[in-house]
Amino acid sequence: MPYGTLYLIPVPLAEEAAAKSFTPYLGDTINSIKEYIVENEKTARKFLKEAGLKTPQSELVIHDYSKYSRDTGTSEFFKGLQAGNDVGLMSEAGCPGIADPGAEIVDKAHRMGIKVVPLVGPSSILLALMASGFNGQSFTFNGYLPIDKVLRSKKIKELEGLATRLDQTQIFIETPFRNNSLLEEILKTASPKTKLCIATDLTAATEFVQTKTIMEWQKKVPELHKRPTIFLLFHG
Report pLDDT digits (tens) over 159-199: 999 999 999 999 999 999 999 999 999 999 999 999 999 99
69 band by pLDDT with thresholds 50, 70 and 90 = low
Instruction: Give the count of alpha carbons within 13 A of 143, CB side only.
Output: 8
- Give me the residue spans of the domains in the chain: 5-118, 124-234
The more confidently predicted of residues 106 and 69 is 106
Across 6-26, average pLDDT? 93
CATH architecture of 124-234: 2-Layer Sandwich (3.30)
Instruction: Give the count of alpha carbons within 13 A of 184, CB side only.
Output: 8
Residue 93: pLDDT over 90: no
DSSP code at position 227: S
Written out in words, the top-level CATH class of the domain with range 5-118 is alpha beta
pLDDT of residue 79: 95
pLDDT of residue 70: 46
Residue 156: what residue type?
I
* Residue 233 to residue 196: CA distance in whole angstroms: 5
The arrangement of strands across the sheet holding 208-213 comes to 139-144, 169-173, 229-234, 195-200, 208-213
Q: What angle do CA 204, 206, 211 make, to 5 degrees?
A: 100
* Residue 165 to residue 128: CA distance in whole angstroms: 22
DSSP code at position 120: P
User: pLDDT averaged over the chain?
Assistant: 94
Cα 230 to Cα 32, 60, 120, 145, 224: the distances in Å are 34, 34, 20, 12, 11
In degrees and rounded to multiples of 5, residue 205 shows phi and psi of -65, -25
